[in-house]
Structure 1
Amino acid sequence: MFLNINILSFMLGFFFANILSTIPAQTGEWNIMSGSIIVSINEIISKKIYKNEIIKKPYIVQLFNNIKIGIIYGLFVDAFKLGS
């Protein structure tokens, strides 16, 4: 059961990456800004989660990590699509 939820959260992050990279890029001027904002938010969330040495709910943290990994993976896939 946990594997299904982990895969689902990873795919949810991948879906968010597709949404976040295509909507602001319609004008063609926001590609670099949207990418930097997404990565900055990702790093801020990581800093807030891992700042506490005692993590009370490790399963929720794992789900957030899967979503973040899916977002980064989705951005890489979009970059490869644009580069080819």
Structure 2
Amino acid sequence: MQNTRLNKLFDAIAATVGQWFINPWRRLSLLVISWLFGFFLGSAVSTTAGQEATLDIVIAAVLVVMTEVTSRIFYSRSFMARQALWVETLNFLKVGFIYSLFLEAFKLGS
């Protein structure tokens, strides 16, 4: 790609954000926010899919595929690449999502 002003601006923004998340507390807070957002998504998807009750199997298959793709991305990389912020954030989102679905299943089962 050409080295335009827009590319330079995006590179500078990415470098600044990367430097900002080097702080362990900021990184941890981003991961906790990602986990909580995954928990929210799990609750929202289960209640929305439960309302329709027509595409339950299709939605379940799509969710399983998404979680498996996320697991493949996270666990197929080396240890250093696994520490990349976007990969770790995606994994925490997946964990919160799965935890929320398990919790919803336990609520429905009781």
TM-score over 0.5 (shorter chain): yes
Asked whether 1:78 is paired with 2:87, we answer no
Q: Distance in 1 between matches of 2:67 and 2:81?
A: 18
Q: Structure 2: state its 5+ residue gaps.
A: 1-25
What is the aligned partner in structure 1 of residue 36 from structure 2? 11
Moved more, 17-26 or 36-45: 36-45
8 Å CA contact retained: 1:21, 1:34:
no
Amino acid of the residue matched to residue 46 of structure 1? S
Q: Distance in 2 between matches of 1:56 and 1:27?
A: 37
Q: May I ask how many residue pairs the two structures share in their alignment?
A: 84
Q: Structure 1: state its 5+ residue gaps.
A: none
Query: Cα distance 1:49–1:4, how it changes in 2: closer, same or farther (>3 A)?
Result: closer
What is the aligned partner in structure 1 of residue 94 from structure 2? 68
For the aligned residue pairs, the C-alpha RMSD in angstroms reads 2.1
| Secondary structure at the counterpart of residue 64 of structure 1 | helix
Q: Distance in 2 between matches of 1:57 and 1:4?
A: 15
Report how far residue 45 of structure 1 moved: 2.9
Q: Kindly, what percent of the aligned residue pairs are identical?
A: 32
8 Å CA contact retained: 1:24, 1:34:
yes
Which fold has the larger relative contact order, with Cα–Cα distance below 8 Å and residues 6 or more apart in sequence?
1
Query: Cα distance 1:31–1:81, how it changes in 2: closer, same or farther (>3 A)?
Result: farther
